[in-house]
Structure formats: structure tokens, C-alpha cells
Amino acid sequence: MSNFLNGLMRLRRGPWEMLATILIGLGVFMLMQPFVLWLYTYSFIVTLVGTVMFIIVSHFKE
Amino acid sequence: MTDTPATRAAQATPVGVARKIKGLSDRAIAWIFVGPTIFLLLAINIFPLIWTINLSFTNFRANRPNREVDYVGLRNYERILTDSDIWLNMQATAHFLFWTIFFQVLIGFTLAYLINKKFKGNDLWTTIIVLPMMLSPAVVGNFWKFLYQPQIGLFNYVVAFLSGKDPSSFEMLGSVQLAPWSIVIVDTWMWTPFVMLICLAGLRSIPDYIYEAAEVDRASKLRQFFTITIPMVLPFLMLAVLFRGIENFKMFDLVVQLTGGGPGSTTELTSINLKREAFEKWRTGYASAYAIILFVTVFGLASIYVKALNKVKER
């Protein structure tokens, strides 16, 4: 966990890509889940933030 | 000068053009060749994407092109993301996506594993299994419609034979409970061969000496399957899941032919709903926002898969 946080602080690709991946996965789950409407409402913004983050952080150093 | 294809091509170039090219650098010549492709890519892919993003913030209607267009900000997105009917369409898509990928991977991998065992008539069986994939979705949709007929459909008779029920007592396409499964069955029937072919390529790429070494180490068949076969086929399987996931997320033709989105809207997938908004209700701005939401979702998923695929390849 400390390695992950350290990587985030030092702007390393691995942990940031992991964070973006979690956001995209969460967004897609929120978009298609059958439980709560407000999760669906906020799904797009979560997916969009994750996707844009993924594009940016894939240019970070390893 | 020797007579080679290159010299012949050089001689065929008109003198004026040859004189102009002579002064160009290699980089400039490369740009001349790549330029038309880049231009086409920009014109066909990038420009419509930017235009769609722009339209998604307006109340533009394509059937009233002369009407004044107002910028409505994020209102289209807000309306889509608070609409419980579209939420139901998303759930129908999720059901379709999950179960088709699940069955296609399961059956496709099993078939590939069996076909990979050398037996008589192996190639003939491969050809027969691959046939559904080569048919047009419109044709497949139409003939499965006949197969699903409660009175004359072969599918109902087979189910009736196995379950002892009356063939006309259930209707696959007309029932709210069965219709979502009917489209899953047809898509699985049609596209399992595709997953099978990809898995077969993966299985055939595993060198025999790895299994021989495992035999020498007295590894059981089950152990060989889980420690050699599955890890080495995994990148291929992930590729198949990526392809089928993206394809099925935008599935349209097959479902329109089979159910037309019905009964009610139980099989109305997002792409069918999007087409209705864009070309039946003519709410172009609204439909553009809808398309952008779907695009971002597919783009995000594709990014994750490509990353995962690269990681598996590195192992």
C-alpha cells in the first residue's frame, strides 16, 4: 500500500494506471448495475475521468 | 542501367513530376504517401467525432436543419443519465453482454480444445463449426425467427421433446422472460466459432516440448491443463473477449431482425435505442450525447483490455 501511495506521489505510471483502471471499471459497473439510479447518474463522469486519466498517465515514466 | 521493377517505375514517372520529387527529402516523400491516409482518417473518424461532441451540447434536429440551433450545455447528458428507461436499456445490454461472452468463451474454448486433439475428420468438423460465423446477421436473424416459431419452429420442438412440454406452450421471442435469452442463444450460436478459432490459434501455438517436459516431471493432465494450457491461451482468450465485448456492446442488426427490441423494451439494447432517438424521433443533439456516453465507455474498456493484454504478453 505504501509503495502504491509512494508511486502516486512520485507520478509513476503503474499506480496511476491502476487508479484509472479502477475508475473505468467502477464507472462501467455503475452504468450497468440494476440497483440504484443515482449510481447510474454519476457513472459517466466516473468513466470519463478514468479514461482521460488513463490517456494522460500512460505517458508518465515507469 | 539494369532492368528492374524499380528502374522501370522510375522511367515511367513523367519528367515534370520526377524533377519536382528530386528536390524532396525522404521525410517529405514519406509524408506524401502517408498524407492521403491521414487526411481520410481525419475526415472520416476524427471530424465526425468532434462534430458529434459539438452537437451533443445543442438541441439540433437533423429533420429540421433550418431551425435555429441553441446550445443547451449539459442538459442532454443530464436527461440521459437520469432517465430510468435508458437505465433499463443499459441493464438489457449488460445482460446480453455478460451472458454472450460467458457462453461464447466457455463453449468456444471447449470446442477448440476438442478440435485441437487430432482425430479423423478434424478439418471437416472445423469447417462445419465455423459456418454460422460466415452468414449475414440478417439471414441468421430471419431463420432463427422461424426456428423460434411456437407452432412450426424446430427449437420449440426440440425443447418440447427434451422437457415434455407442449411446443406451443412457450414463445421465445414473445415472452418477457425468454426474449432476452433468445438473443443470447442466437448470438452465442453465431459467434462461438470466432472465439473457437482464436482459442485454437492459441492452443496450436503451444510448443509440444513444454508438455513433454511436464510429462517427464510426471505432471498430471489436469495440472498440465491449469499450468500450461490456460496461461498460454489466456492472451488469446482476452483478445477474443475484447473483440466480442466491443462488438456486442454495439450489437444492432441481429437483435433488430429477431425481436426489434421487444416485447415492450426488454431486448432494446442501447444501440437500438440510440437509433430510435436519432432517426425516428430525430433528436440529433440528444442522440449525439447518448453516442458520446457509449463511446467513452467502450474506449475506457478497450484501454483496460489493451493494457491487460500487454501485461499477459510480457509474462
Domains, chain B: 5-55 (no CATH), 76-314 (1.10.3720.10)
Give the C-alpha separation, B212 to B197, whole Å: 25
Domain that holds residue A13: 2-57
Strand partners, B71: B58
pLDDT at position B19: 67
Q: What is the pLDDT of residues B47-84, one digit of tens each?
A: 999 999 999 999 999 888 888 888 999 999 999 999 99
**Phi-psi category of B261—alpha, beta or left, where left has phi over 0 and alpha has psi -120 to 50?**
left
Given pLDDT bands bounded at 50, 70 and 90, which one contains residue B312? low
Give the C-alpha separation, B272 to B154, whole Å: 28
Nearest residue of B to residue A43 by CA position?
Answer: B81
**Does residue A26 fall inside a structural domain?**
yes
**Does residue A62 fall inside a structural domain?**
no
Which of chain B's residues have a Cβ under 8 Å away from the Cβ of A17?
Answer: 307
Query: Which of B90, B99, B242 is the best residue to mutate to test the A interface, defined by the most A CB atoms within 10 Å of its own CB?
Result: B90
Q: Is B10 helix (H, G, I), strand (E, B) or coil?
A: helix
The DSSP call for residue A34 is S
Which of chain B's residues have a Cβ under 8 Å away from the Cβ of A24?
Answer: 300-301, 303-304
**Does residue A31 fall inside a structural domain?**
yes
**Does residue A39 fall inside a structural domain?**
yes
Query: Domains in chain A: how many in total?
Result: 1
Among B84, B90, B297, the residue with its CB nearest the CB of A47 is B297
Q: What is the pLDDT of residues B215-260, one digit of tens each?
A: 999 989 999 999 999 999 988 888 888 889 888 988 999 999 999 8
Helix intervals (H) in chain B: 5-12, 15-22, 26-41, 47-55, 75-80, 84-116, 122-130, 137-147, 154-163, 179-204, 208-216, 221-224, 230-249, 253-258, 270-279, 284-314
Which of chain B's residues have a Cβ under 8 Å away from the Cβ of A44?
Answer: 77, 81, 293, 296
Q: ipTM higher than 0.90?
A: yes
Which of chain B's residues have a Cβ under 8 Å away from the Cβ of A42?
Answer: 81
The region of weakest confidence among B15-29, B32-46, B222-236 is B15-29
Q: Which of B:75-104 have CB within 8 Å of A?
A: 77, 81-82, 84, 87, 90-91, 93-94, 97
- The answer, for B51 touching chain A at a CB cutoff of 8 Å, is no
**Does residue A24 fall inside a structural domain?**
yes
